[in-house]
Structure 1
Amino acid sequence: MNAPTPETDVTSAPLPSGEAVTVPTPGGDARVTWFRARRPRAVLALGHGAGGGIEARDLVALARALPGHGVSVALVEQPWRVAGRKVAPAPKTLDVAWRAVGPKLAAQGLPVVAGGRSAGARVACRTGAGLGACGVLALSFPLHPPGRPERSRAEELLGTGLPTLVVQGGRDPFGRPEEFPAGSHDLAEVPHGDHGFAVPRKAPVTGEETLAVITEAVGEWLERLPLA
């Protein structure tokens, strides 16, 4: 497979005001939008998916919630997205850009947790250890293309070599929580959530409650994470 499977159901949300910084990479300019904690103890870097940007609701929710708990959030836009292109490049190209951004994140002098949603989660899994991250956050990890469980990407997840948290919707067609293999990673289920963590209208939880599940699960995991 030469390119990430596009996300088909990611809901966007208004992005709060942040500090945007351009970072040159071999594939063009990336952009990092910072949401800084007053007294940060860590940086959580989050990449977007192959079919959406940093306006994804889960990324926005984390950017709003975590700075108040001592974690600065850096939302990273890949060069293809900054350039206005519609289709993401191959995974290798995404990794090259992320590796170029990594030193800028580490220059803050704080422990860095690598993360992202969907294709961005795969990038974080593949590159986190090499960039010296202290953990990996995988939001809506695309364990397999929809309807193709035999094309598993579990090796990427199981091979991070770092403490890893997967946050997965209960009805995600890219991999439901019960499909994930056993491993050293933690897994937090978002009940009734799809790949974009949207829930059906008849679900017993609201969209806002779903976002709270995500931010609480990530916040609690970060509290337990050895930041070094």
Structure 2
Amino acid sequence: MIVELDDFEVATPHGPARVLLESPGYCGGLLVLGHGAGGGVEAPDLLAAAESAPVPIAVARVLQPYRVAGRKAPAPAAQLDEAWACVLAELTRRFPDTDQVHGGRSSGARVACRGALVADPAPVGVLALAFPLLAPARRDGTRPDRSPEIDAVDEAGIPVLAVSGERDRFGVPPPARHREVVTVRGDHSLKARGPVRDAVAPWIARFFPPLPDGLVIL
């Protein structure tokens, strides 16, 4: 199978975002993935998710503007969401009338969940890798609860797959009506690509149809 690789920038109000796009000659769907707070698009679980689709789909891994600028401290949530929306608009222009699954790891999963509620078109599913259910502890020992972000996607009726390490110090989302939860060995980093890929593959196969009869991908 011939896969075209494209590396391009998308203008946002907060500087350019960078998109690494892999697209086959026949595109059965689009998977868009965002990175964690201090990481990048080469995280093991993001690569595993990118490999998981059973049919040829386009996969876009998105580097937020603050990381493009060389900063590790994450931008405020509103800026992350605005940049994500700009990237989705450009990808939708490139792949019109194509079903999309949005996702990411940790902070990127939070962005994907928030964005799913306002995206046009709405994603057919959201992939939440290492969703950080609890924030890091404050000085007073409290840990803000981030479950409303992922719960809102369930309430909107959008299917979610949450994949977390069994030892994730930020917690594991519980199952819900439209949310499946898989725990795999490991911690918040989700470095075991095989188990992540095995967890994602059957779920993502539901959204992207098999190849048309007679179509052969070389």
User: What amino acid maps onto 1:115 in structure 2?
Assistant: G
Q: Does 1:185 align with 2:179?
A: yes
Report the counterpart of residue 135 of structure 2 in structure 1: 145
CA 1:69 to 1:216, structure 2 compared with 1: closer, same or farther past 3 Å?
A: farther
Structure 2 residue identity aligned to 1:84: G
CA distance in 2, matches of 1:211, 1:144: 24
Residues in 1 aligned to 2:72 and 2:66: alpha-carbon distance in whole angstroms: 8
1:134 matched to 2:124: yes
- Which whole-Å deviations, capped at 9, do the CAs of 1:104-160 have from their partners, x for residues lacking one? 121212111110000000000001131121111100000002466752111100101
Change (3 A) 1:214 1:193: same
Tell me: CA distance 1:181–1:67, structure 2 relative to 1, closer, same or farther (3 Å).
closer
**Distance (whole Å) between structure 1 residues aligned to residue 30 and residue 129 of structure 2:** 16
State which of 184, 190, 193 in structure 2 corresponds to 1:197: 190
Root-mean-square deviation (CA, aligned residues, Å) is 2.2
Distance 2:73 2:177 in 1: 32
| Deviations 1:5-55, CA, capped at 9 Å, x for gaps | xxxxxxxxxxxx931011000111001101123422111100001110111
Decide whether aligned partners of structure 1 residues 149 and 170 sit closer, same or farther in structure 2, where only a CA change above 3 A counts: farther
What does residue range 55-204 of structure 1 map to in structure 2 within 5 Å? 55-63=42-50, 65-66=51-52, 69-107=55-93, 108-109=95-96, 110-131=98-119, 132-146=122-136, 150-160=143-153, 161=156, 162-176=158-172, 180=174, 182-190=176-184, 192-198=185-191
What SS does the aligned partner of 1:224 have?
A: coil
What SS is found at the alignment partner of 2:78?
helix
Percentage of identical aligned residues: 41
Helix, strand or coil at the partner of 2:167: coil
Q: In structure 1, what is the Cα distance between the partners aligned to 2:99 and 2:59?
A: 12
Q: 1:226 to 1:54 in 2, by over 3 A?
A: closer
Q: Per-residue displacement from partner, 1:66-123 (whole Å, max 9, x unpaired)?
A: 4663222100000001111121111111001101111112121211111000000000
Instruction: State how far apart, in whole Å, the 2-side matches of 1:213 and 1:86 are.
Output: 28
* Cα distance in 2 between the residues matched to 1:163 and 1:226: 14
